[in-house]
Chains A and B, each alone.
Chain A
Amino acid sequence: METEAVSIPLHKIEKSDRSFIITAGRDNRELTRSIQQVGLVNLPYLVAGPSGDCYRIVCGCRRIQVLTELGWKEVTAKIFSNAPEEKTLFLFAFFDNLAHRQFNPVEKAHSVERLLHYFSQEEIIRSYLPLLGLHPTARTLADTISLAGLEDDIKYAVITGALQEKTAVRLAGLSAEERQSIFSLFCMVNLSASKQSEISEHCLDIACRDSLSISEILDDRAVQDVLQQDRMTGSQKGEQVRQVLRKKRFPRLTRREESFGTLKKRMHLPPNLVLSPPAFFEGAMYRMQISFETVEDVQAAADQVKKLAENPDLKKLLEG
């Protein structure tokens, strides 16, 4: 494709046109420093708009943005000579970007969304998903597209890693209002990616089981009480909210855990004897762990275990 280097006034570039733009959530600080020190090394690519009076960006949106911020009035850009098709221009931008950097999840989503204008799903799955480092399956395609439709603040959280991609895909299936409810919670507390995912799942399951909206679940008094605690850190609040929601999601399991805790407490076991229930109370096999350093420790522990065998609380515990 033939291009010609031409000096273009920056105000003639349509900065809001994103037809060929894939870039999302990139930090411009290094680029700014580089332009300040050595000027523009790589020229942006532009194509004349329909009226011929303004230009659309094909490659180099960040460069144009930085130059504008730095107060430049003009830029030397490569202009495509005989207006190629949109598809050709998009592929030019796509492969140019692909050659220079790793796409973040949102950039992958934008690329796929755009590619769908020009290719069948089948072609994208076969030829383009592998180029983006994605599994060539219909499920991956659907998940990737779903990210493109998310609100900007959520996309940004995905790019920065504040929100796990898998959780974002799950949120994409909700109404905008429901999605914002969960996302606002994530902004108020500190949670690891896996805990975010767990909380989202709990909310969705509770909503489904009790026919409630996500907002109704999160507006619940117990959740709000935690969020309004001034003296708790974000992480402490996150953990507390997680516990509140877990209890709502698993009422019988948590009741069982609590009653185990109460009975165990009443048994007054010494610290070197640890009694544990079967995982999730599945089966009937309880465990007792003895820690010891000396023969006397073992004897003392054995006496304790003997006493425990006669404790009516142990029977109660085993009977569930």
Chain B
Amino acid sequence: MQRFIPEKIFIEESAADLVAAKRVRERCSESSVEIITSAREFIRLSRQKAGAEGALQTGLLLCRNKGRFLEPCPGTKKPYRCCGYAILNSGTGCPLHCTYCVLQAYLNNPFITLYVNHEDMLEELEHFAHLYPDRIMRIGTGEYTDSLALEHLTDFTCSLLPFLRQHQGIVLELKTKTAFIDTLLELDHGGSVLVSWSLNAQEIAASEEHGAAPVHERLAAARSLINKGYRVGFHFDPLIYYPGWQEGYRQTVDLLADSIPPAAIAWISLGSLRFMPPLKNTSLQRFPHTKIYCQEFVSGHDGKMRYLQDIRLEMYTALVAWLRHYSNDIFIYYCMESPTVWKKTLGFAPSNAELQKLLDGRVSPRIAA
């Protein structure tokens, strides 16, 4: 899998002299550079020109985040349960282009964008840590982008480490579908960083996760990090229902079992494909040959389309059984699932607060694998 190098970098004037912006420029010495006055205006004009929907931009936008860096994960409405994760907003957009990526439908910005005012971000994090000194917090950068897809340009994790070392209650979860771990291998992380991989059936990874690493490479990368003392996580999310799904997911669980010792796994989450209704058309325009939207989806209590509950239960029951067969001790949870699903497949249904506590307990106190 190739690392993303932009053809062109657009830099907001007021961000051009920031350390992170200079670093990205240095590492993309072949890319042309254009200084722009206002990122906001630039995005507006570019949208008009190409349309945010469906535009596969090869440009990278570097600008300041003028809003907050830290925000609670939007989660979803009741009764679906959420894990109380906090998003560290390092940028938006992703070069991997998964068919089902939610970013296609709700971002108004066609550019892969990095917020380079890391000084402001650290200040905000310090302020937060000062306000809640005893709080355990799982923060992650994988909500609006893939956490490691641009790491080779930014050294983002490395620049966060001094902060993380000072605050024992905070753990950074990097969620990825890449195998780009080289920048993490030599870090003195002290258990403050947890790397998790989204896993799928291999044929789904190949057909729907276009720029991502094959499943076996993701697992090999996880294995390398475990050897360097990292704890890891896995997200079977989104599970896709297709003819042959049992065989496909079974094989991935087997690969996982063959390469990862259960003790190194902080958690495994399960979630099935879900999307807001407009995503289907946007995605079909970009990926007209995909078949993932033609199964039985119904509207959930939060307005998102989900597989009929019977289908989800069938898939989850199978996955839980395979995972339990691999190890009984693995902590399995659901992302955005209903209490009914929790109870029927795992035998209990925690409240949001209970789930948050359970997950916090998996990372605190910090233990390296």
A residues near B (Cβ < 8 Å) are 121-122, 125-126, 136-139, 141-142, 173, 205-206, 208-209, 249-253, 256, 279-284, 320
B residues near A (Cβ < 8 Å) are 47-55, 79, 288, 291, 293-296, 298-301, 306, 308-311, 338-340
The answer for the CA separation of A248 and B291 in the assembled complex, in Å, is 16
- Report whether B310 and A280 are in contact in the complex, using a CB–CB cutoff of 8 Å: no
Q: How far is the CB of A116 from chain B (nearest CB, A)?
A: 15
- Report whether B300 and A256 are in contact in the complex, using a CB–CB cutoff of 8 Å: no
The answer for the CA separation of A281 and B294 in the assembled complex, in Å, is 19
Nearest 6 A-B pairs (CB), nearest first?
A138-B51, A280-B298, A209-B294, A205-B294, A208-B294, A284-B340
- Report whether B50 and A282 are in contact in the complex, using a CB–CB cutoff of 8 Å: no
The answer for the CA separation of A137 and B295 in the assembled complex, in Å, is 30
Query: Residues of B contacting A249 with CB < 8 Å?
Result: 296
A320 and B308 in contact (CB under 8 A), knowing A137-B48, A138-B50, A284-B340? no
- Report whether B296 and A252 are in contact in the complex, using a CB–CB cutoff of 8 Å: yes
Query: Residues of A contacting B300 with CB < 8 Å?
Result: 280, 282
The answer for the CA separation of A251 and B291 in the assembled complex, in Å, is 17
Instruction: Select one of B48, B295, B308 contacting A209, CB under 8 A.
Output: B295
- Report whether A137 and B296 are in contact in the complex, using a CB–CB cutoff of 8 Å: no
Q: What does DSSP make chain B's interface, helix, strand, loop or mixed?
A: loop
Residue of B52, B308, B311 most packed against chain A (CB within 10 A): B308
Q: How far is the CB of A197 from chain B (nearest CB, A)?
A: 12
Q: What does DSSP make chain A's interface, helix, strand, loop or mixed?
A: helix
User: 23 A-B pairs, CB-CB below 8 angstroms?
Assistant: A125-B48, A136-B48, A137-B47, A137-B48, A138-B48, A138-B49, A173-B288, A205-B293, A206-B294, A208-B294, A250-B308, A252-B308, A252-B310, A252-B311, A253-B308, A256-B308, A281-B298, A281-B310, A282-B300, A282-B301, A283-B338, A283-B340, A320-B310
- Report whether A282 and B311 are in contact in the complex, using a CB–CB cutoff of 8 Å: no
Query: Residues of A contacting B301 with CB < 8 Å?
Result: 282-283
Q: How far is the CB of A283 from chain B (nearest CB, A)?
A: 5
Q: How far is the CB of A143 from chain B (nearest CB, A)?
A: 10
The answer for the CA separation of A63 and B175 in the assembled complex, in Å, is 66
In this complex, what residue of A is CB-closest to B110? A138
The answer for the CA separation of A283 and B50 in the assembled complex, in Å, is 41
Q: How far is the CB of B327 from chain A (nearest CB, A)?
A: 30
Query: Residues of B contacting A253 with CB < 8 Å?
Result: 296, 298, 308
Query: Residues of A contacting B288 with CB < 8 Å?
Result: 173
The answer for the CA separation of A45 and B293 in the assembled complex, in Å, is 52
Give 4 new A-B contacts, CB below 8 A, not counting A280-B299, A283-B79. Answer: A138-B47, A139-B54, A252-B296, A282-B301
Q: How far is the CB of A268 from chain B (nearest CB, A)?
A: 27
The answer for the CA separation of A141 and B55 in the assembled complex, in Å, is 14
